[in-house]
């Protein structure tokens, strides 16, 4: 962050000799600070929780799981029985014969295909549940990036604000000195132009910060006035070992969802292989015959079974087998590709983190030290306002560069965490 250094050492004596004004001003500033409510802070974890608890998201997930559960219910429900009622009239007049039949028919799964189809539906429901976890991880990554962007833009606004305050302080001193003829007109106009540029950059930074905060608020489903201001450290913590990330990646929810889908195809293949054993249909009922004033009652019993002469489930077996093979191949190919990507991303994140930490510890303090040297020279009359502004600008550039490096390291770390899939978002 840019430190604010005073340049009051070259103030005219008449300006600094009014001690009564400063305690009053200090009291007003303290009262104003106390009267201003501290903005609500929004951590990264809080933002994720808000986003995942949105009613619309939960409604979508619940509906998707309900549809999957209905498929399980349908696959495990036996076929309904059928009721048939018939009447047949033969002959004429006194020799007329009437037959009434009442029969209930039920199909019986002799091969045990229904439990296998139900198991396949259960695997697909599990795949849907795991896919939802993977989607939550993607949403969490999006929220984390939005939170990092809001934090980055807010820090950028603060840097530009500190730069503007420093120029306003220098401009105030310069104005007083100009009345005594101690500052050249060119220097004064140069400082005024620099002040105008700083005001414009501060306004632009404030607009970008507000836009980033609004994007975060919309993503987590909170009104902007209630969402809270993004807070936390921008520079990420040390990286976990690469071996642990590669191991956790294999257990990622989207990979598990693909495996569950492959198991569903396996169950369907097992069920299809039993199609050569056809279902049995059993019918039972009663029969009544009225003929020449005599009534006779009997029992109906019939059994029917299709002959699997041509269709023995070959197509269904082939389709399920191909589906399982394709799903597992997709999982393997995706895992291999993303393992290579994870290794490259881990190295990139490591380099960015080392660069950001090194720059923050070395370059930024060096820039602040140059500003102090320039201030001392300015107060001693050994340099002009332009040299001081150059030193200040160098410190600002160093602070912005350090902020940029930290932001880049944060975004890469979020992508690394998402690719590794180390955490499940319930």
Q: Tens digit of pLDDT for each residue in 169-200?
A: 776 665 655 555 555 566 667 777 888 889 99
DSSP E strand boundaries for 275-388:
280-291, 294-304
In this predicted model, which residue has the larger pLDDT, 321 or 98?
Answer: 321
pLDDT at 415 over 90: yes
pLDDT at 154 over 90: yes
In angstroms, the CA 192 to CA 198 distance is: 10
In this predicted model, which residue has the larger pLDDT, 152 or 2?
Answer: 152
Asked which of 11-20, 376-385, 407-416 is least confident by mean pLDDT, the reply is 11-20
Average pLDDT of the residues in 118-135: 96
Nearest to 71 by CA among 115, 113, 112, 122: 122
Task: Quote the pLDDT of residue 39.
Answer: 63
Nearest to 365 by CA among 394, 406, 407: 394
Contact in structure between 107 and 279 (CB atoms under 8 Å): yes
Contact in structure between 277 and 110 (CB atoms under 8 Å): yes
Query: What is the domain partition of the chain in residue ranges?
Result: 57-80+112-276+317-420
Burial class (CB in 10 A: 0-12, 13-18, 19+), 195: middle
384: Cβ contacts below 8 Å, ≥ 6 apart: 184, 187, 378
In angstroms, the CA 410 to CA 416 distance is: 10
In this predicted model, which residue has the larger pLDDT, 207 or 227?
Answer: 207
Average pLDDT, the chain: 85
Task: Quote the pLDDT of residue 38.
Answer: 58
H or E stretch at 97: strand 97-108
Contact in structure between 272 and 316 (CB atoms under 8 Å): yes
Give the best-scoring range by mean pLDDT among 297-301, 364-368, 371-375, 401-405.
Answer: 401-405
pLDDT at 48 over 80: yes
CATH of 57-80+112-276+317-420, one of 1.20.1600.10, 1.10.1040.10, 3.40.640.10, 1.10.645.10: 1.20.1600.10
pLDDT at 23 over 70: no
Give the best-scoring range by mean pLDDT among 147-161, 276-290, 392-406.
Answer: 147-161
Output the CA torsion 347→353→355→359 (10° steps): 180
Sign of the CA dihedral 388, 390, 393, 399?
negative
281: Cβ contacts below 8 Å, ≥ 6 apart: 105, 106, 107, 108, 303, 304, 305
């Amino acid at each position: 962050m840019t430190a604010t250094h005073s340049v009051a050492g070259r103030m005219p004596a008449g300006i600094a000799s009014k001690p009564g004004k400063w305690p009053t001003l200090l009291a007003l500033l303290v009262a104003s600070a106390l009267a201003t409510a501290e903005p609500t802070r929004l951590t990264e974890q809080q933002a994720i929780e808000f986003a995942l608890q949105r009613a619309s998201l939960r409604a979508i997930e619940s509906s998707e799981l309900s549809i999957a559960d209905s498929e399980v219910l349908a696959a495990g429900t036996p076929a309904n029985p059928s009721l048939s009622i018939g009447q047949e009239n033969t002959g004429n007049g006194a020799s007329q014969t009437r037959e009434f039949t009442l029969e209930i028919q039920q199909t019986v799964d002799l091969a045990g295909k229904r439990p296998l189809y139900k198991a396949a539906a259960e695997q697909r429901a599990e795949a849907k549940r795991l896919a939802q976890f993977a989607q939550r991880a993607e949403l969490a990554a999006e929220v984390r990036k939005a939170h990092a962007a809001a934090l980055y833009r807010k820090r950028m606004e603060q840097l530009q604000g500190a730069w503007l305050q420093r120029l306003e302080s220098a401009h105030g001193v310069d104005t007083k000195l100009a009345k005594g003829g101690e500052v050249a007109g060119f220097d004064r106009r140069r400082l005024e132009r620099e002040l105008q540029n700083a005001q414009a950059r501060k306004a632009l930074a404030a607009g970008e910060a507000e836009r980033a905060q609004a994007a975060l608020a919309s993503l987590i489903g909170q009104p902007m006035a209630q969402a809270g201001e993004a807070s936390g450290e921008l520079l990420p913590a040390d990286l976990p070992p690469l071996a642990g990330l590669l191991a956790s990646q294999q257990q990622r929810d989207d990979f598990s969802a693909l495996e569950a889908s492959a198991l569903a195809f396996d169950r369907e293949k097992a069920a299809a292989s039993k199609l050569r054993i056809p279902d049995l249909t059993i019918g039972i009922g009663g029969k009544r015959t009225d003929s020449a004033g005599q009534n006779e009652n009997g029992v109906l019993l019939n059994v029917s079974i299709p002959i699997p002469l041509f269709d023995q489930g070959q197509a269904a077996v082939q389709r399920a087998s191909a589906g399982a093979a394709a799903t597992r191949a997709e999982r393997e190919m995706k895992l291999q590709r993303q393992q290579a990507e994870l290794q490259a991303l881990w190295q990139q994140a490591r380099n960015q983190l080392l660069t950001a930490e090194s720059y923050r510890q070395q370059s930024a303090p060096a820039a602040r030290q140059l500003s102090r040297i320039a201030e001392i020279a300015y107060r001693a009359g050994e340099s002009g306002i332009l040299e001081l502004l150059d030193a200040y600008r160098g410190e600002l550039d160093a602070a912005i560069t350090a902020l940029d490096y930290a932001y880049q390291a944060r975004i890469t770390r979020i992508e690394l965490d998402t690719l590794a899939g180390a955490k499940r978002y319930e």
